[in-house]
Amino acid sequence: MKFLILYILFFIKINFLFAQKEDKVIIPTKYGNFSFRGQVFSHGSNYLLIGLGGVFDKERKMTQISGRVAYHIRLKNYHFQMAYHTNSDEWFLNRSFQTLHEIRFGTGIRKDEWKKDMAIFIGPSLSYGDAFMKVNDKEDFYHFSTLGAYIDLQFTRKYIYDIGLGTSVFASFNKYYTIYGIDLHIYFSAAYKKKSRNVM
């Protein structure tokens, strides 16, 4: 898990380098547009996370490399997540028989601020892949496909309102391949809209 330690240290270092006094920005309590320094932004806009990290495989008692892409949308006051997650005992370009793929659909709550974004999502997942397991008293690599559930906690530090870096702590549960993980993610949002008309 050395790469995880390096990721966390990198995240702390970046936060230290970019640490600054918070700007006085008035963000509406309800979702909508607001202006800052001649720019118009949307509060609670959709966003994308791309993450890389590691997981602990409960059944096989081993750590593995993980990656994911997650898109988040807001419909009125409700937040939804659609995500693809994968983890394996090998880097992604190397073929391995020990691999989990997941398609996740969740709902959650989110707190969107000028310099940070926090959220938690929970929901069902479709899990499939290959894993070493015991079936009918025989241990071997088997293909599986099953339904499960997951939870995802996110914290993002935004360096501008649209872009940030953060960490996610997550867990996924199914009868073949339960995992607990952490990753470093890049955050992209669709918050920026346009320049204010009253600014020359």
Nearest residue to 179 (alpha-carbon basis) of 48, 57, 60: 57
Q: Cβ(185)–Cβ(158) under 8 Å?
A: no
Residue 74 lies in a domain: yes
Model-level pTM greater than 0.75? yes
Residue 90 lies in a domain: yes
Name the more confident of 104 and 3: 104
Q: Cβ(153)–Cβ(120) under 8 Å?
A: yes
Domain count, the chain: 1
Residue 37 lies in a domain: no
Q: Which range of residues forms the domain containing residue 155?
A: 2-19+44-195
Q: Cβ(154)–Cβ(118) under 8 Å?
A: yes
Residue 135 lies in a domain: yes
Widest distance between CA atoms in the chain: 75
- pLDDT tens for 71-105 read 999 888 899 999 999 999 887 677 778 899 999 99
Looking up residue 187, the CATH number of its domain turns out to be: 2.40.160.20
Question: Whole-angstrom Cα distance, residue 191 to residue 121?
Answer: 20
- pLDDT tens for 126-149 read 999 988 877 777 777 888 999 999
- The pLDDT of residue 25 is above 60: no
Question: Mean pLDDT, the chain, as a whole number?
Answer: 82
